[in-house]
Structure 1
Amino acid sequence: MLDFLAGYYVWIKALHIISVIFWMAGMAYLPRLFVYHAEAAPGSDKSETFKIMERRLLRGIVNPAMIATFLFGILMLVLNPGLLSDGWMHVKLALILVMSALHGFFSRWRKEFERDGNQRDARFYRIVNEGPPLLVIFIVLLAVAKPF
């Protein structure tokens, strides 16, 4: 089975990259929605619209893209286990765990907004909005440059 899949490694890699793009697009946009949602009065039409947008973005794009990213990434590591001996890969995987934790926080915060229980201001979400782009810069640099 692995021999069969090995012939499709570049396709698996392409699907991994596509999944990462969708995951990161959603991870960049979701906290931006939180910024606007935090500025909306709870229970207002605007707040209710943001609830729908956040839920659809998370459940329809961000969660499936993260799952696909992990699926294709793990498959690439199974097909090329030598990557796990590289130091850059260890750092990259650690940063992916940080990104995944951030994803978990975003999911929890979305639920708080859903219950009209948000306690954070728009400034907090503006700052958090910088996290995914910074992480993805380092992750991509590690994957492309393989510095160590």
Structure 2
Amino acid sequence: MLEPGFLGGAYLWVKSAHVIFVVFWMAGMFMLPRYLVYHQEGLGDQAEEARWIDRENKLRRIILTPAMLAVWVLGLALAVNAGLFAGTEGLGWLHAKLLIVVLLSGYHGWAVGYARKLAAGRPTLPNRRLRMMNEVPALATVLIVALVIVKPF
């Protein structure tokens, strides 16, 4: 069954690509905070620091940022297709999902910024709090999946 809207026969392809890039983005979002913990614990060892800086940069350049951009472009196309800006009823779940994705994108930016702080040798969080920050992507994933599958409002 095709979703009505401007995507027409491309709808399932766009939806498939969106899900694929969500998986890539979330894989990176699970990895980067863990990298930050290890990087921070390795501060003071120049060789170790250099390895973590390289890993974080590659993860950001090759996976995280391209996947996030694809998620946004494809997701917005799907949202428009579903009638987000046309006043379609019953899309409260989509508004909530988009809010969480905006927050997750902000977290992505924070994590990249914190990687840059660590690269400059300026950590600002205690290790325990940094470890707790690892849970943000998992919580966002749980909420987003529940909203998309259950569509509670």
Structure 1 length as normaliser, TM-score?
A: 0.91
Does the Cα contact within 8 Å between 2:43 and 2:121 map onto a contact in 1?
no
Please tell me whether residue 133 in structure 1 is matched to residue 135 in structure 2: no
Does the Cα contact within 8 Å between 2:97 and 2:147 map onto a contact in 1?
yes
In structure 1, stretches of 5+ residues that fail to align are none
Q: Which amino acid aligns with 2:8?
A: A
* Partner residue, 1:89: 94
Runs of 4+ in 1 over 3 A off after TM superposition: 82-85
Aligned residues: 146
* Partner residue, 2:49: 47
Please tell me whether residue 100 in structure 1 is matched to residue 102 in structure 2: no
Q: Distance in 1 between matches of 2:98 and 2:80?
A: 14
Deviations 1:38-66 (A, max 9, x none): 11133521111000000110111000000
Identity across aligned pairs (percent)?
35
Over the aligned positions, Cα root-mean-square deviation in angstroms equals 1.7
Flag the 1:18–1:129 CA change in 2: closer, same or farther, 3 A: same
Deviations 1:59-97 (A, max 9, x none): 110000000000100111222215864111111111111
Flag the 1:60–1:15 CA change in 2: closer, same or farther, 3 A: same
Q: How does 1:68-83 map onto structure 2 within 5 Å?
A: 68-81=70-83
Flag the 1:87–1:37 CA change in 2: closer, same or farther, 3 A: same
Q: 2:122 aligns with which of 117, 128, 138?
A: 117
Q: Distance in 2 between matches of 1:70 and 1:91?
A: 15
Higher helix share: 1
Does the Cα contact within 8 Å between 1:39 and 1:121 map onto a contact in 2?
no
Q: Which amino acid aligns with 1:49?
A: R
Does the Cα contact within 8 Å between 2:21 and 2:70 map onto a contact in 1?
yes
